[in-house]
A and B are shown apart, each in its own frame.
Chain A
């Protein structure tokens, strides 16, 4: 069955986010692998999408009439895996096999292995143009569903992101929503400034929101415009909810030791 908007209340949502974050940290620690801080940056938004916005059928993940979500910044995979497990795409014990030799859940998601994964991403700048192709494909086939794609601000250094931005606007892909996880981790390399203005200049329907505020993000996702693709520039904190990691580049791809793990789990309770 296609389900839509099994909307969780705000308080329940916050509690669930904490639970998912605890899962993510535990899974990463036991695997000795994972981009925890990036996962925490995007988790609120991915949760809201799967909880309130997307149409999908976890029993039949390829249902033609689903909305599609692509995590172009594939290294935040743990957040997506945790949400997909929570929503029933695969059993929780798959999560415990994260990055194991014969597991289906790798450091970057694989669409030929994982139910609910729409594109194999990892190398940055691929998921976004694929999403443009899928949006165009839906239009050619007259399928009235939506494509959502999430990119990072670091990823926005890639030329293919801006090629995609030009193409989506030119072809008036109103069925495409891009979410930029603007956690400013790319600032140390390239300052991107006002990303919403940049996308608006390319012809997109653009807004800026707090990517950790479920209500504000949800409202923004619903604000689409005819004839234009939509971009939501989401201000986020890398490592959100975990003081040790917040905006600390050292934690981009670091696994906590036992002492740190205890601290983190306490903070997330």
Chain B
């Protein structure tokens, strides 16, 4: 906000305390809009239309699912640059129950032409990616998580990072799944690609790093969203893809996010098992 006076922040009545200093410093450029995600999203399009660079922020289910048509028409169809920044995708807020879970956000937004999707694995990666993308011309979704990888990378917007190279399979880790993936592949002769931008999808890096034609795709949201992009990038080969991610059902239990990881198999042990299966397939 200090660096670019076009930036305007709209909060859907969350993170307000966290932004208390910004409210003091930039009273004309930060608003707690209230609990009205539809109007907040259209309103941000109006700000963008007037040359400002809005950031809208709320919890993923309300920001994405509640205001889906506003994202579709007001941002994507009108090609207006708004930064849509969510927290708590999937089941970060496990104990709050399914009303507050949002494993569908990436699958839904993937259907909107022109929407870029960024899924950083650490706060530093978010900072790096946001600075590059916040003022480009395309509406952009930043999916922030309470969960983070222990190690960050110098990730580039729109590019997959080659974490390591191997021969027997290629493992694709999206966002905060990288930690579990790295533990899972210890000692195995496999490639690991780390995606922090999933739309646009970096098919080139995948095509250059998938000689085995065997893939394990590990996603922190509804499983399989990137399958079509993978097949499209490797359209000249016969590819084997195994998926790990959030299964397509309501997670009706509460507890902690890690407990849900266990149940749905987003664990290093399970990932390792699948990787081995794929290697021997």
Query: Which residue numbers of A lie inside 8 Å of B, CB to CB?
Result: 111-112, 118-120, 122-123, 125-126, 128-138, 140-141, 143, 159-160, 163-164, 166-167, 171
Contact = CB atoms under 8 A, between A and B. Distances in A.
Interface string B24-64: 00001101011010111111111111111010000000000
A136 B33 contact: no
B11 to A, nearest CB: 13
Given A111-B78, A136-B43, A163 B28 contact: no
Contacts of A140: 8, 28-29, 47, 50, 52
Given A123-B69, A140-B28, A130 B46 contact: yes
Nearest to A121: B73
A130 B45 CA distance: 6
Contact of B39 (A122, A123, A129, A138): A129
Contacts of A119: 45-46, 49, 78
Interface in B65-82: 69-70, 73-74, 77-79
Tier of interface size on chain B: 20 to 34
A166 B31 CA distance: 14
B73 A120 contact: yes
A129 B42 contact: yes
Nearest to A125: B38
B102 to A, nearest CB: 21
Looking at chain A's contact residues, is the secondary structure mostly helix, strand, loop, or mixed? helix
A133 B43 contact: yes
A167 B42 contact: no
A167 B73 contact: no
Given A133-B44, A134-B49, A137-B49, A163 B38 contact: yes
8 contacts: A126-B42, A126-B74, A129-B39, A130-B74, A134-B50, A137-B8, A163-B39, A167-B43
Given A125-B38, A134-B49, 5 more contacts: A111-B49, A126-B42, A129-B46, A130-B49, A136-B46
A13 to B, nearest CB: 31
Contact of A136 (B47, B70, B78, B79): B47
Which one of B49, B50, B52 has the greatest number of beta carbons of chain A within 10 Å?
A: B50
A28 B44 CA distance: 34
Contacts of A143: 50
Given A112-B78, A159-B38, A163-B36, A126 B70 contact: yes
Given A129-B38, A160-B39, A137 B50 contact: yes
Contact of A137 (B52, B70, B79): B52
Contacts of B44: 133
Contacts of B41: 129
Interface string B103-143: 00000000000000000000000000000000000000000
A70 to B, nearest CB: 9
A163 B51 CA distance: 23
A131 B74 CA distance: 12
Nearest to B69: A123
Interface in B196-226: none
B33 A160 contact: no
A110 to B, nearest CB: 8
Nearest to A118: B49
Contacts of A136: 31, 43, 46-47
Nearest 5 pairs between A and B by C-beta? A133-B46, A137-B50, A129-B42, A163-B39, A133-B43
A159 B70 CA distance: 13
Contacts of A123: 69, 73
B89 to A, nearest CB: 24
A164 B42 CA distance: 10
Nearest to B49: A134
B39 A167 contact: yes
